[in-house]
Amino acid sequence: MSSSSKRMIEEVVEPTKRQYLLFILDETLYAIGSLRAQEIVEYSQVTKVPMMSPCVKGVTNIRGNIVPVIDLLQRFNLGTTTIGSKTSIIVINHLSQGQEIQMGVIIDEVYEVDDISSIDLKDTPEFGSKVDKKFVQNMGRYNKDYIAILDMEAILDLDELSVTVD
């Protein structure tokens, strides 16, 4: 085998690494693809909007843009996030019906941005996670444990989030 053929095979087999934003929510570590996050801002006042889904806390002004804010913990049906000194909002650019919109998700604390190799990604198990499987893209091995890598498309599904409350 020629050295160029061997190099091409090694390039195909070599695992890729992607960066993830890791954060804490209710004492559990989660991740999203770092490219999904436009920015992270300190939690600021959220103005309630009537007749919204309970997990939609309202809207806030971030750099002149009105951004809907989702309580991730409530979206997962795991309670309500308690606002503390490290509470933040991750601003995400979300594509909906061909239009890019900004949406914010409340988290307890930013952990770090780090790489997870493609060989350390596994399918989401059918059971054993606190979070509904539809919200989990896959599981990633990080520091010898597996953490849920969230599916932001499912979490920010506007059809589900637009269900109003009487």
**Vertex 140: Cα angle to 143 and 70 (nearest 5):** 110
Measured CA to CA in angstroms, residue 73 lies from 59, 70, 103, 106, 119 at distances of: 17, 9, 15, 8, 29
- What CATH number is associated with residue 108? 2.40.50.180
93 part of a folded domain: yes
12 part of a folded domain: no
SS3 at position 70 = strand
What confidence category does residue 99 fall into, taking pLDDT thresholds of 50, 70 and 90?
Answer: confident
> pLDDT digit string (tens) for 28-56?
999 999 998 999 999 999 999 888 889 99
The stretch 79-108 carries a mean pLDDT of 92
The stretch 68-87 carries a mean pLDDT of 95
9 part of a folded domain: no
Longest dimension (CA), the chain: 70
105 vs 15 pLDDT, higher one: 105
Count of domains observed in the chain: 1
pTM listed for this prediction? 0.84
Residue 93 has pLDDT above 60, yes or no: yes
pLDDT number for residue 5: 46
36 vs 86 pLDDT, higher one: 86
Check the CA dihedral 22-25-29-31 and report its sign: negative
4 part of a folded domain: no
6 part of a folded domain: no
Give me the domain span that covers residue 49.
Answer: 17-161
What confidence category does residue 8 fall into, taking pLDDT thresholds of 50, 70 and 90?
Answer: very low
Residue 94 has pLDDT above 90, yes or no: no
For residue 124, what is the DSSP state?
A: P
11 part of a folded domain: no
pLDDT number for residue 166: 52
pLDDT number for residue 127: 64
5 part of a folded domain: no
The stretch 65-84 carries a mean pLDDT of 94
